[in-house]
Amino acid sequence: MQEDIESLNPQQKEAVLYNNGPSLVIAGAGSGKTRVLTYKVAYLLDLGLPPENILALTFTNKAAAEMKQRIARMVGYNKSKGLAMGTFHSIFARILRSEAGYLSLTPSFTIYDTDDSKSLVKAVMKDMGIDTKQAEKQYTPSFVLSRISAAKNSVMFPKDYIVSDFALQDKRRDMPRVGEIYTEYMRRLRAANAVDFDDLLLLTYVLFRDNEEILQKYRERFQFILVDEYQDTNTLQYYIVRMLAAQHHRVCVVGDDAQSIYAFRGAKIGNILNFCNNFPEARTFKLERNYRSTKNIVSAAGSLIKKNRGQLPKNVYSEKEDGEKVKIIETRSDDEEARMIAGKIKDMGNRGASYDDFAILYRTNSQSRKLEDALRSLSVPYEIYGGTSFYQRKEVKDILAYLRLIANHADDEALRRIINVPARGIGNVTMTRIAESARNNNTSLFDTASAPDKYGLEVSPAAKTKLVAFTGMIGKYSGMTDNMNALEIARELVNELDLNLTDEKYGILTPDECSRLENISELLGSIGEFCESRQSEGEEASLTGFLSLAVLATDQDTKKEDEDKPKVALMTIHAAKGLEFPNVFVAGMEDGLFPGPMSLADNESIEEERRLLYVAMTRAGNLCVLSYADERFLYGQLRMNKPSRFLDDISDKYVERSVYGYSNSTFVDFSRRDEGFFTRVRSKDFSGNGQQPRKTGMPVFEPRPEPRNLQRISPASSILSDEGLQSVPYGRGELHLGDIVVHDSFGEGQVRFLGKTVDGYTAKILFANGKERMMLLKFAKFSSINRG
């Protein structure tokens, strides 16, 4: 162990060895915080602290599992066995199952994921008569759930909600019934013996708040508490950590306020900023050496984040080489931006770089389409990171719903999902009548379906037979849970449902069938790994234990290290948190997109967006490219954009600016590495003579055309082309080649070209300022059209 400690740098070593009171470890990007956390736990174990007395809270199960493995290698498996290490939600779910009786739950309660919660909200809204199209625009299930989540994270129950500021805000939005929805949503959750994600935190807080003996039990058990990513904790997580550490104060939190980017999920940056106020005797340790990025990237990111007022002082530095300066590139359009990024990646790939070394980051998921198109056009393999999580795939969710219903007969949402999967001839009419009968009798859907005559269910004899057969099958597996582990039950179930497709039974499988088979096999493998892990820890490999693990899995937990072929990673910046790549492109650096329109109203939101860019830049090891487009299709229309204000926050000492794609004879030459990156932009006259860049290092471009007077534009006959169309449908009439139009944003212009693409009809318009723009007509807004 001593050799491991000596391998740390002085700041890391100091943070690991201090265990005499509360401590705050400020860990800059790429500074080795995971290593510090891992070594600190191992050091505590080496000092003789029993593993069950250590509570280590992380934000992904994957991170917890990797840390456990490293700790076991350092101190030995037996010494580390029994560590309480995992996410807030997974650790608290286990506590709640142990103490369920204090909360009017049974230990087999179901944890609803976001889809389950949304489905329940929809059902509540429908029964309350507010699911009309008009109301749906206001009461979207996602928005209602966000309000409920915000209320729970503010420790606000339904009875408090309806007389709170939340309710006043809802009334201003013309949504006065959110409080009613919240009340009924919670009633149905409890009737189903279920909790949602937020309940795992809220109910743990309530359990400790209202039961002093239970709180004391866990205070005595968890004698040392460690929290990773403390800057991302919300109010409830903060309260619970404070309650557990209130007596012994042995708590170590690790985080970086500069990377606090989850305010939209309820994260409170004040938790880390005020830690030393909450624990006045706390020691602060700063991990300021960045091991990931070059000096220019670290310095550029540092100059950006220094513009934020609300932060802890730190001086992150790198001892790597200076490296390339951060590239800031202006492009004409989002199409040009995508082509530029794809072209550079293709070029570097052709010269030996692995596509695994590249990430393209963006502010919103909608930006990915044009980037994907550009990569596909150059045959560059890519993968969308943070796409459909493994546990969200249909066949996986179906089997999980069966297992949930087996574990908890009151889980109405699980029953709704699988009562007719595979098809049993139980249709919507039957389900509606079951729901009505269950509501009238104040019982669950399962109980109603299993005893239709008892509850006066008015369905046909054939339907009753099918319902009893279905519930009987579920009951059979429920009876196995005491004597069989999760894997044994799942295997039996999959076999009975005939979900194990085989070539012998079904002939040649289609690609979709192969994918479903692989996912089912992967699920069984996952259950098997869970059982093996639990049994090796001397714990029960129960069905409810696995279901908790599955529903709490994050995208990073379930992402395969993949497969064989290197791929460029595409993802939102939020999804990139915690990852690193040698080469990073950040697309869409424009005001109104980054920072987004909802962030411009107050300084706190602007500072959060600036932290988000800091996170994006510090994912890069060697190359960081920030690009923006002068015009972009955004929110259904073509918009002119200003460069992001954040680009001016970065010191010019560490950046290199250039422009791409502003004339047909202007291009970026990616083949010459010796002249500097992205600065080889040449302008050729019609004789083919090129001009050299100015001494400033900025590229030379052809001058943009002077604005023209549209009255002098030649008649339509002079601009007819053999390509394109003479006229196309527009609105209730037609648009013709040569027509004079007035656009809401760009003013007067003349139609120079008409065409059709897979997305619809297009028009190239020459505007009075001399710029030509290609527009998709279904989005274009012309206030007048006159024949040219």
Of 70, 36, 66, 29, give the one whose Cα is nearest residue 291. 29
CB-side exposure of 168: number of CA atoms within 13 Å?
A: 3
Contact between 551 and 324 under an 8 Å Cβ cutoff? The reply is no
- 740: β partners: 750, 786
- The CA–CA distances, whole Å, from 279 to 14, 44, 114, 251, 636 equal 19, 21, 35, 10, 50
Q: Tell me the C-alpha distance between 334 and 632, whole Å.
A: 5
Of 68, 52, 51, give the one whose Cα is nearest residue 60. 68
Give phi and psi for 383, each to the nearest 5.
-140, 135
Alpha-helical (H) ranges within 537-644 are 543-551, 555-558, 573-576, 603-617
What is the amino acid identity at position 441?
Answer: N
Q: Tell me the C-alpha distance between 686 and 690, whole Å.
A: 10
Give phi and psi for 328, each to the nearest 5.
-115, 115
Q: Is 366 annotated as a binding residue?
A: no
DSSP letter at 67? H
Q: Tell me the C-alpha distance between 629 and 620, whole Å.
A: 22
- 666: β partners: 683
- The CA–CA distances, whole Å, from 737 to 79, 701, 768 equal 80, 31, 17
Tokens in use for 3?
């050799």
- The CA–CA distances, whole Å, from 551 to 91, 195, 236, 765 equal 13, 11, 20, 52
Q: Is 29 annotated as a binding residue?
A: yes
Alpha-helical (H) ranges within 442-577 are 445-450, 461-478, 486-496, 503-506, 511-536, 543-551, 555-558, 573-576
Q: Is 31 annotated as a binding residue?
A: yes
SS3 297: helix
Q: Is 636 annotated as a binding residue?
A: no
SS3 759: coil
Contacts of 460 (CB under 8 A, 6+ apart): none
Contacts of 6 (CB under 8 A, 6+ apart): 13
Catalytic residue positions, numbered:
33-34, 228-229, 259, 619
Q: Is 697 annotated as a binding residue?
A: no
Torsion of CA 513, 517, 522, 524, to 10 degrees: 150
Q: Tell me the C-alpha distance between 89 and 58, whole Å.
A: 9
Contact between 338 and 378 under an 8 Å Cβ cutoff? The reply is no
Q: Tell me the C-alpha distance between 635 and 632, whole Å.
A: 10
Largest CA distance in the chain: 92
Count CB neighbours of 320 within 10 A: 18
Q: Which residues are annotated as a binding site for ATP?
A: 27-34
Residues belonging to the binding site are 27-34
